Amino acid sequence: MEKGKGLIAEFKAFISKGNVIDLAVGVIIGAAFGSIITSLVDDIIMPFVGMILAGINFNDLGVTIPWGNHPYINFGSFIQAIIIFLITALCVFILIKVVSIFYKKEKKDPEPSKEEKLLAEIRDLLKEQNGK
């Protein structure tokens, strides 16, 4: 019985960690972002691509196989999925680049620690002694 309580306590500690909550928020935002990208591709980009390619509707782009129960292979939807993936990957890449720029700026100006200040003072004193 004690082992079960330990497992529940471990699970509670795991769930309450910041990383798990951040991950859950990221997954939820990612799902919403995915639906926005899907709408962008389906409703805005693909009609323009179809217009440029002489009115081709990618949703209807496919082929029926003439044997068996005549399955329909819809490769237009597959092309749309590839475009959605590429746009999503591009957006994530840009987001990571922007965040890394801010992170580098934040990291460049750290306050020196007490040890670093002390070492700098010692260095300066040694320079003065050697210079005399």
Split at pLDDT 50, 70, 90, the class of 95 is confident
> Residue 127 has what DSSP assignment?
H
Q: What is the CATH number of domain 2-131?
A: 1.10.1200.120
Q: CA torsion angle for 13, 14, 16, 19 (degrees, to 10)?
A: 140
Q: What is the average pLDDT score of the chain? A: 83
Give pTM, 2 decimals.
Answer: 0.56
As beta bridge partners, residue 72 has 64
Mean pLDDT of 17-35: 82
Indicate whether 1 pLDDT > 50.
no
- Residue 63 phi/psi, 5-degree rounding, is -145, 145
Give the span between the Cα atoms of 32 and 26, in whole angstroms. 10
- Interatomic CA distance for residues 132 and 126, integer angstroms: 10
Domain residue spans of the chain: 2-131
In the structure encoding, which two tokens stand for residue 93, read together? 């890449």
